[in-house]
Amino acid sequence: MSAEFSDAELDLLADVLAGEAAEADVARVHASARLAQGLIEFGRADAAVRSELAALAEVRIEPPAGLDARLRAALAEFDAPRRPRVRQLAAVRVARAARTGEPWLLRAVASVAGLIVLAGIGIAVTQGSSENELDAVASGPQQASPLAAEVPARATGRDYARPGAVAQALPFLLADGNKSGADAALSGGSTDPPAPQFQVPLRLPAAPQFPAAPDRPSSSTGGSSTGSAFGTTGGSTGSFGSPGDAAVPGRVETLSAVTLNRLRNPTARQACFTALGLEPATMPEALDFARYAGQPALMIVLGVPDEPAALTVFVVGPTCGQGTGALLFSGQFDRP
Amino acid sequence: MEASGGDVRDRQLLRAHLAGDPDAFGALAHRHSARLFAVAMRTLGDREEAADAVQDALIRAFRKADTFRGEARVSTWLHRIVINACLDRARRQAVRRTVPLPEHEPADTRDALVDRERTLDVQAALAGLPSEQRVAIVLVDLQGMPVAEAAAVLGVPAGTIKSRCSRGRARLSLTLGHLARNPDRHGGVEQTSGEIDNGHGKAGG
């Protein structure tokens, strides 16, 4: 090159050479002897460069021998079991109503009647059963399951009724590495966290399975999170009522002796997922055998299909999936 | 956008994947993996990085298949995801601009050695370009992609692709200027001695 050019001049000459420059720029190049000479030289060099690039294009690039197998293996990681379908609870209810054709008032009356019957059964069971006996009745023999082995579970004993507790716990629950005390949760040990409150008989909300929940349990609001506590009187997102508070009206003692060990059983968890409107084979991202307002509770953390930055969290009581109101909290959170 | 036979098959596979066929996306990936790897390799200049980028991209495509709107070819959509994965990796990890040796070592003849040296020189010069110019040249000049399709891959007007290619080639001509003085390859280029600078920092500024 017989002259030096700035980057801007280089771009100008290239654009003129490609026929992509404005008329004024073309005129400017031709008005300058230095730029005009540069244009000629670049034109010649451009042909040489194209020739070199053409030669490089002929060099065949073979993919690594195992690339396809590696890709298959990587894609298998994301097969259906890892992509839970969180069905919209409102949609499930609407679809169910459409199928049955039942008026909502009739269904509501039937639900209340059912709950009264269940409450009666619950009291009777409480009076006559030990925890272990009821556990055995509820979930049958504890069996090792491939599903159980794959679920990352912890048993923190954390109380998720405290405001902000769920969001604070998510980074820890989703982190790899040490899961001390947690792996035991699904591998045969007791899942009940070592909290003294566990000695207190359960008082679970006597509300319907999805009591007075908003159509969508919650929605993510840009960097924050929202959730809904069920079985509380206030109904405010920020008001996490205590299901264990006997003074709260509308609650009855029911199935009080059921322990969280029941949800160690994959079959029981699948029934719980079904009750939550999830696919039975849903694979959670994390489980935490913890507490809610002092009572044993299982926190279930799920990915949200097509929203990789979001997580759905359910906190359920030990009776989840058994037909009584066990949904204590649900919400959508930003993935940490 | 007119769908070719290959694109029709690609769309069938994508639909089957969305319908739950567990093998469909693997088949789609297999159809394109070699070409996608070549693009990634030429963009990143490192085999491991390129393989990782293709893997990242195909996982993303697998998971986001329902976002494919069908306005472009499936291969265009896949190329776009791979290019983005490459640029992400380049930005995040400040990829080492290594220049890999050819897959098969050429015979130890003078011509072969000269060829190999030139290939390495061109690859090194390409790696030194701004990423947007490098990607445009990789797609158009090395992968033989039509300008319109490259524009669709990168989501920019065709004129921008032409401009990026010509600007990139202008910079390459500074770096590779010495090659033009020895036009003993590919028919060479008619060149007056001294017309092309050796390219070491002449384009200041």
Q: State pTM to two decimals.
A: 0.48
Interface contact flag, A80 B20, Cβ < 8 Å: yes
Instruction: Please choose, from the candidates A175, A176, A136, A155, the residue with its C-alpha nearest in 3D space to the C-alpha of residue A265.
Output: A136
Residues in A closer than 8 angstroms to B205, CB to CB, are: 5-9
In the predicted structure, residue A285 carries a pLDDT above the cut 70: yes
| Strands (DSSP E) found in A243-306 | 286-292, 295-304
- From the CA of A96, how many Å to the nearest CA of chain B? 24
- Give me the interface pTM, i.e. the ipTM: 0.75
CB atoms within 10 A of CB A224: 9
Mention every residue, 6+ apart, whose C-beta is less than 8 A from residue A5.
A13, A38, B202, B203, B204, B205
Question: Confidence class of residue A176 from pLDDT cuts 50, 70 and 90?
Answer: low
Q: From CA A301, how far away is CA A41, in angstroms rounded?
A: 64
Are A200 and A294 in contact, with CB atoms under 8 Å apart? yes
Interface contact flag, B103 A45, Cβ < 8 Å: no
Of the CA atoms within 13 Å of residue A19, those in its CB half-sphere come to: 1
Interface contact flag, A60 B58, Cβ < 8 Å: no
Site from A49, A67, A79 to mutate, B interface, most B CB atoms within 10 angstroms:
A49
Interface contact flag, B58 A52, Cβ < 8 Å: no
Interface contact flag, B142 A57, Cβ < 8 Å: yes
Site from B60, B181, B189, B190 to mutate, A interface, most A CB atoms within 10 angstroms:
B189
Q: From CA A268, how far away is CA A66, in angstroms rounded?
A: 41
Residues in B closer than 8 angstroms to A79, CB to CB, are: 22
Interface contact flag, B194 A18, Cβ < 8 Å: no
pLDDT for the residue A112: 59
Interface contact flag, A68 B30, Cβ < 8 Å: yes
- Residue pLDDT, tens place only, A79-110: 532 333 444 454 555 555 555 555 555 555 55
pLDDT for the residue A95: 55
3-state DSSP assignment of residue A205: strand
CB atoms within 10 A of CB B141: 23
In the predicted structure, residue B97 carries a pLDDT above the cut 90: no
Nearest beta carbon to residue A74 from set B55, B176, B194: B55
Are A227 and A330 in contact, with CB atoms under 8 Å apart? yes
- Judged by a CB distance cut-off of 8 A, whether residue B42 touches chain A is yes
In the predicted structure, residue A208 carries a pLDDT above the cut 60: no
CB atoms within 10 A of CB B26: 20
Q: Which residue of B has its CA nearest to A5?
A: B203
In the predicted structure, residue A6 carries a pLDDT above the cut 60: yes
Q: Which residue of B has its CA nearest to A83?
A: B63
- From the CA of A306, how many Å to the nearest CA of chain B? 7
Question: Confidence class of residue A261 from pLDDT cuts 50, 70 and 90?
Answer: confident
Angle at A90 between CA A89 and CA A93, to 5 degrees: 90
- Judged by a CB distance cut-off of 8 A, whether residue B29 touches chain A is yes
Task: Please indicate whether residue A326 or residue A217 has the higher confidence score (pLDDT).
Answer: A326
- Residue pLDDT, tens place only, B108-117: 566 666 777 7
pLDDT for the residue B142: 94
pLDDT for the residue B19: 85
pLDDT for the residue B136: 96
Interface contact flag, B38 A63, Cβ < 8 Å: yes
Interface contact flag, A1 B37, Cβ < 8 Å: no
Give Cα A180 distance to the centre of its chain: 22
